[in-house]
Structure 1
Amino acid sequence: ASYVGENPFKEEVIDGVTHIKTTVTATDLNGISNMYVYSVAENRIVAYCNPPSGTYPSTFNCNVDFVPQASPWDQGSFSVIANDRAGNNNSKSYYSDTAAPTVDPFVITQTGPNPDGSYTGTVTITATDTNPVGTGSIKKIQLYSGIEAGYVGSACDYSTPYNTSESCGIVFYTLYPLNNGDFYGYAIDANGNVGSYHFDLDTQNPTYSFFTGDGTPVASKTTYKDTVTMRATVADAQSGLDYVEMWTYRLGSGGIHTNYTPIGTCDYNGENSATCQISWNVDALSGTSRIWPLGIGYYIELRVRDVRGRMISPSWGPVEIIN
Structure 2
Amino acid sequence: MLRFKSLLIILLSALFVASIALQVAANDDDNDEEVPVSDVPAKVLQAANKAVSGGEVTKVEKEVEDGEVIYDVKKVVDGVSYEIEVTVDGVVKKVEKGEAEENEENEEESAKVWDFQKEQVGKIAEGFKSYRTGKGKLGVWKVLVASENKVLAQVSKENFGYHFNLAVAEGTKYSDLKLNVKFKAIEGKDDQGGGPVWRYRDANNYYIARANPLEDNFRVYKVVDGRRKQLASKKLKVTNGEWHTIGIVMQSDHIQCSYDGVPYLDVQDKTFKSGKIGLWTKADAVTYFDDLKVAALGGKTESKMEAEKDEGDTVKNVEKEDEGEDDDD
TM-score (norm 2): 0.22
More helix by share: 2
TM-score for the superposition, normalised by structure 1: 0.22
The structure where strand makes up a greater share of residues is 1
Greater Rg over alpha carbons, structure? 1
Q: 1 or 2 for the larger relative contact order (CA 8 Å, sep ≥6)?
A: 2
